[in-house]
Amino acid sequence: MYVYNVMRLNRRREALKSDTCCRCGVCWLLMVLGMCLSGAGLFAQEGKKEDVLAIKQISEEAVKAMAAAKKGAAAGGSGDVYQRICMNCHGDKGQGNVQLRTPSIAGLPDWYIMAQLKKFKSRLRGAHEKDLTGAQMHAIAMSLSEDQMKSAAEIITRMPLIATQNTLKGDAAKGMYIYMDFCMACHRYNGSGEVALRSGQLVGLQDWYMLGQLEKFRAGIRGADRKDEDGMRMRESASRLRDKDLANVLAYIAQLAQQYVGELNAAAGKTTGGK
């Protein structure tokens, strides 16, 4: 009996060696099970409880803000476009709102505001299916005429810049080297951007907003259209960063903001704002 069993076992081993599959079906079952589990894992990640709550909260508040903005747009007339429409989401001082995920646009250069509004309107920005915040701004831009864009840009550019804060707690000392190597050539030593290169001004934007935009560039959600040359250039720069560089480079931008926002405001004849 024992000998028979050993012989059987040996035959089995031989079979395994020669064929690598014993055709028992267990491996196949395991593979299917594995696929199911990893699928479930992906779903679990996608629908993380906090994320769902956050999106729900953003959209509920955004829906309200959007309704108010639409009402303001419908009111029309020659009144202040900013107060009627933009303020609902970007705040009375252009300071942005973390709940609504809106950037602090106060003091952005007028050429940059015009360029971005036109991109939102022509679907070069905010049209990707995963770009929930961009989609809101796309909807708003659709309702604006060129004249309304110009008057909004004039108002926003006169608002004092509000300096970026380091809320993501990155390490500015480490971020400095990354900024110098990868960002400064286009965004300048002081983060003010450069009209000739069409690069945005960074020192007034919130760090969490910039993180979101860098992630969008990296994922091809912003700057993916070949007609969006400026966006494509920025996308290439963003793709050079490693994950761990992100918070650090943003911390350095916040440091530049503490250093230069007062100066930038004074140069533009703005006295308040700053830190």
**Is residue 150 a contact point for ligand HEC (CB under 6 A)?**
no
CA pair distance 58, 67, nearest whole angstrom: 14
Which positions ≥6 away from 69 have C-beta within 8 Å?
84, 85, 86, 88, 89, 140
Nearer to ligand HEC, 203 or 270 (CB): 203
Q: Which member of 65, 161, 163, 264 binds ligand HEC (CB under 6 A)?
A: 65
> What minimum distance in Å lies between the beta carbon of 51 and ligand HEC?
16
Nearer to ligand HEC, 191 or 262 (CB): 191
Region near ligand HEC per CB under 6 A, out of 32-40, 48-56, 64-72, 255-263 = 64-72
Q: Which member of 200, 207, 255, 264 binds ligand HEC (CB under 6 A)?
A: 200
> What minimum distance in Å lies between the beta carbon of 144 and ligand HEC?
6
* Residue 234: closest CA among 204, 261, 205, 202: 202
**Is residue 58 a contact point for ligand HEC (CB under 6 A)?**
no
How many residues touch ligand HEC under the rule CB under 6 A: the total is: 48
> What minimum distance in Å lies between the beta carbon of 202 and ligand HEC?
6
Instruction: Tell me the three-class secondary structure of 212-272, residue by residue.
Output: HHHHHHHCCCCCCCCCCHHHHHHHHHHHCCCHHHHHHHHHHHHHHHHHHHHHHHHHCCCCC
Task: Give the x/- contact pattern for ligand HEC in 97-136, rule: CB under 6 A.
Answer: ----xxx-x--x----x-xxx---------------xx-x
Which positions ≥6 away from 141 have C-beta within 8 Å?
117, 118, 120, 121, 126, 149
**Is residue 159 a contact point for ligand HEC (CB under 6 A)?**
no
CA pair distance 248, 143, nearest whole angstrom: 38
Q: How far apart are the first and last CA of the chain?
A: 88
Backbone angles phi, psi at 97, to 5 degrees: -155, 120
**Is residue 206 a contact point for ligand HEC (CB under 6 A)?**
no
- Map the footprint of ligand HEC across residues 17-46, applying CB under 6 A: none
**Is residue 234 a contact point for ligand HEC (CB under 6 A)?**
yes
CA pair distance 261, 190, nearest whole angstrom: 9
**Is residue 255 a contact point for ligand HEC (CB under 6 A)?**
no
**Is residue 237 a contact point for ligand HEC (CB under 6 A)?**
yes
Position 185, amino acid: A
**Is residue 85 a contact point for ligand HEC (CB under 6 A)?**
yes
CA pair distance 54, 68, nearest whole angstrom: 21
Q: Are 192 and 201 in contact (CB under 8 A)?
A: yes
Nearer to ligand HEC, 250 or 265 (CB): 250
> What minimum distance in Å lies between the beta carbon of 79 and ligand HEC?
12
**Residue found under tokens 């960063």:** 241
- Give the residues lining the site for ligand HEC (CB under 6 A): 62, 65-66, 69, 81, 85-86, 88-90, 101-103, 105, 108, 113, 115-117, 133-134, 136-137, 140, 144, 152, 182-183, 185-187, 197-200, 202, 205, 210, 213-214, 223, 230-231, 233-234, 237, 241, 249
